[in-house]
Amino acid sequence: MVNCCGLLTATKEPVPLKSVDVEVTVRDHVATVAATLLYENKEQSPIEAVFVFPLPGDAAVCHFSAKIGQSEVVAEVREKQKAREEYDDALTRGQQAFLLEESEKSPDVFSLSVGSLPPGESASIRLEYVTELAVQADDGLRFCLPAVLNPRYQPLGSDGGAGTISFGPGTSVPASLVPYSLSLCASVCSPRPITKVESNCSLDPVQYLNQQQTQAAVKLAAGHKFDRDVELLLYYKDSHLPTAVVEAGCASAKPGSLMGDPVVMVSLYPEFPPAVMSLMTKSGEFLFVIDRSGSMSSPMSNADSSQIRIDSAKETLLLLLKSLPIGCYFNIYSFGSSYTHIFPQSVVYSQQTMDEALKVIEDLRADMGGTEILEPLKHIFKQPCIPSQPRQLFVFTDGEVSNTKAVIDVVKRNSGSHRCFSFGIGGGASTALINGLAKEGRGHAQFIAGADRMQSKVMQSLRFALQPAVVDISVTWDVPAGVSVTTLTPPITNLFQGQRSLIYAQLTGEGSGDAEGCVTVKYSLAEHPTQNQLNFSLKPTEDTGLTAHRLGARTLIRSLEVEANEPGVLSDQVKAKEKVVEVSVQSGVSSSLTAFIAVNKGNGEALQGPLLRRNVPAPRMKMGRISGRMAQMAMPIIGCSSAMAPDMALSANRVPMPSKGLFCKKKKVLAGSNIMAHSLCAGMVEMDSADYEDPQDLAIPAPRDPMLQLISLQRASGSWLLESALAAVFGRTLKDVEGATPVSVSPEVWATVLAVIWLHGFNNDAQEEWEFLAMKAVSWLHGEKVPCMTECVEAGNVLLGCQVQESSMGISFLDV
């Protein structure tokens, strides 16, 4: 009989993990993370504890050790199969052993095995990794500690069959059932002042450690509930300044080796000429790929008011469609256990095709079962590209798949024909998948969770997609004689205005103490040759913890892993795998082909008694808002050899999901109005036909989100029609709006001017969301050659109660 003392799982099994303490040290744009996991065996027999948990997909795990009593065992990196054999042999001998390994299918999932922990014994496990901080749309640097491990859907035909959880049995439970605590403290150091620190979790007040505010300390408030990943957003003054750090090699490593030589880490922020940036492209094939698996019915966060993921995605699709330039091509794909597309092939963007797409978007639900993203991507890449229409791929997913590397691989193989912009939706989205899609697809990645608005982040990516393509990128080094440079970073394939590019390189040879080097990035932008240059001192910086070396090694390892999996000559694949193991062992950085192994031989006495396996559960986001019984049916069961993923469970039970988003169907719409627009009016009072026989005299209640209502009414050309639904957004009757029309101004021009004024006057803080559709409106007005534009704007300001200037609207030049 199991002794049910101490921490327990949902199945009453003891949980040996008591707490997780995390220390984060941020230096400029790189974080070093040390996690201490405290285990305690309160049972009568020795146990093996297995903990599967997420880490950032680009993290370089560089240290693993265990402290038992007063003795400490530091793990070493071995080839994975050898490490497993050594671990099994140690358990057979009754010795304590510790094994840390990365998933072979997804680099953001790790497994930690603590073997032969004696009765009454405690063990403190220390895990360290380094990671780069991603740059966000508002120039903040994002650190994320993944705390949520959602079940990953395993595609049909892969090992284990569809719907199984690929990373092991019984490894995730709802946040409320997690039986151990988490604490986190962070210290931040920057060469520039830290302007603010934000988080999606409760923090204790930020403490600045010096007068210059270049150092700060922050701590996670007590009582973290494990219902979300822990996210810190750091803001520095002048964060776009390029930097270069030369890090001294390890004194004990062999000179000429990666760890023995200095490594330079260069952070570049390309600045494009303003004249070129004004040449926003008006062409392209825009393909929107939407996850409609069952997990997309979950909320963005566990807050009661949180929007459902699929509803947020639908609102974003509406905004994207309205913002596309006239003359481009587009199509929309949905995927789950299968995939569909609105049009057989991409179509020209017009009023007709936009209306067809919006009708389909209105009915999108999270009802397509599993998460099989690979097949729709393969289908897209088989389609011929349209001449003079660069392909731009926008992928929206909550990232809960197991075949991450296969998905990223197909994007990489086709990267010459497209750019991929990826969006991770909700807590627990796979960082490896989202970042990998963007990196290999020459695009940009965004994560949307908690209270984040998807629309603003997506529109930044659309801005990148509409930038002139950067081609012919090259990196050259100018260093003194006697010094050579070996670049560790793969060739740069994409550059965006104001976005960071990191380059790692090994410096071999000797230079004088005051010598300087120079790195130059050259590229062509809209047929304009351009270059960015950075000079830096070759004098190494001491006491950096080998951060640059480990991140450089991780970058090199990732490139070699891709080579090892590429189809081709078998001997080349074998050489690439051997090189992965060599670099991983030499640098002490994890890879998919190696593992950390530590064995505590103790006093040589073998532990006695049967070894009990204990699976330590990781937290996961709660399911969509369904009944308690159905939610239980969808949960993995602790201790089972396999479990049905939530995606498959939802599909099999066909549970209808209530919609809390903007798309709430109505039985009736107002006469003469846009059907799509009025289906968006969530919360409007149902009216009988007799109530709106005369639409001109009817004041319509404003919808819950007037801005999205206004956007839904815009035509593909960029104009608005003068109709009751538009007047309702303004809080006016159609009769009032028509009566204020200036002389000699057409209703469509008047409606469009009012819409642009209203956006500037009442939604200026969301300008990044409506900027492109407003530009379309201004362009349309220019084509109409509007007379007396000044008088028109003045009349609009009077009607709407605004004071918007023509110059701020960008239409002052329209007076004729």
Kindly report, residue by residue over 468-477, the tens digit of the pLDDT: 778 888 999 9
Determine the Cα–Cα distance for residues 594 and 587; give it in Å rounded to an integer: 12
Beta strands 391-397 and 418-425, pairing class:
parallel
Among 183, 198, 187, CA closest to 232: 198
pLDDT beyond 90 at 95:
no
153-185 pLDDT, tens digit each: 666 555 544 443 444 444 677 777 788 889 999
Determine contact, residues 43/14, Cβ cutoff 8 Å: yes
Which pLDDT score is estimated for 258? 94
- Using CA atoms, how far residue 632 sits from 9, 180, 299, 379, 546, in Å, is 15, 22, 17, 36, 47
* Position 729 confidence tier, pLDDT thresholds 50, 70, 90: very high
471 in helix, strand or coil? strand
Determine the Cα–Cα distance for residues 514 and 311; give it in Å rounded to an integer: 58
Task: Please classify residue 738 by burial: count the beta carbons closer than 10 Å to its beta carbon, then call 0-12 exposed, 13-18 middle and 19+ buried.
Answer: middle
Choice between 759 and 695, residue whose per-residue pLDDT is larger: 759
Determine the Cα–Cα distance for residues 74 and 160; give it in Å rounded to an integer: 34
Q: Bridge partners of 51? A: 112, 616
Q: Which fold has domain 249-276+470-540?
A: Immunoglobulin-like (2.60.40)
Determine contact, residues 661/314, Cβ cutoff 8 Å: yes
Determine the Cα–Cα distance for residues 600 and 606; give it in Å rounded to an integer: 11
Which pLDDT score is estimated for 753? 95
Match 């910086």 to its residue by tokens: 541
User: What are the structural domain ranges in the chain?
Assistant: 17-147+179-225+229-239+588-604+615-620, 249-276+470-540, 281-466, 675-814
pLDDT beyond 90 at 377:
yes
Contacts of 741 (CB under 8 A, 6+ apart): 722, 747, 750, 795
Mean pLDDT, range 345-354, rounded to an integer: 95
Please state which of the ranges 74-83, 191-200, 499-508, 655-664 shows the lowest mean pLDDT.
Answer: 655-664
Q: What are phi and psi of 262, to 5 degrees?
A: -65, 150
pTM: 0.76
DSSP code string of 520-544: EEEEEETTEEEEEEEEEE-SPBP-S
- How many beta carbons lie within 10 A of that of residue 802, not counting itself? 16
Distance between first and last Cα of the chain: 90
281-466 under CATH 3.40.50.1010, yes or no: no
Determine the Cα–Cα distance for residues 171 and 616; give it in Å rounded to an integer: 7
Among 121, 115, 147, CA closest to 20: 147
Domains 249-276+470-540 and 281-466 share a fold: no
Determine contact, residues 809/760, Cβ cutoff 8 Å: yes
Average pLDDT, the chain: 81
Determine the Cα–Cα distance for residues 511 and 489; give it in Å rounded to an integer: 23
pLDDT beyond 60 at 637:
no
**CA 311 from chain center: how many Å?**
18
pLDDT beyond 50 at 584:
yes
Q: What percent of the chain has pLDDT over 70?
A: 81
Which pLDDT score is estimated for 647? 33
Please state which of the ranges 44-48, 139-143, 349-353, 621-625 shows the lowest mean pLDDT.
Answer: 621-625
Q: Residue 526 — left, alpha, or beta (φ > 0 → left; ψ -120 to 50 → alpha)?
A: left
81-94 pLDDT, tens digit each: 999 999 999 988 88
pLDDT beyond 70 at 660:
no
17-147+179-225+229-239+588-604+615-620 under CATH 1.10.230, yes or no: no
* Position 513 confidence tier, pLDDT thresholds 50, 70, 90: low
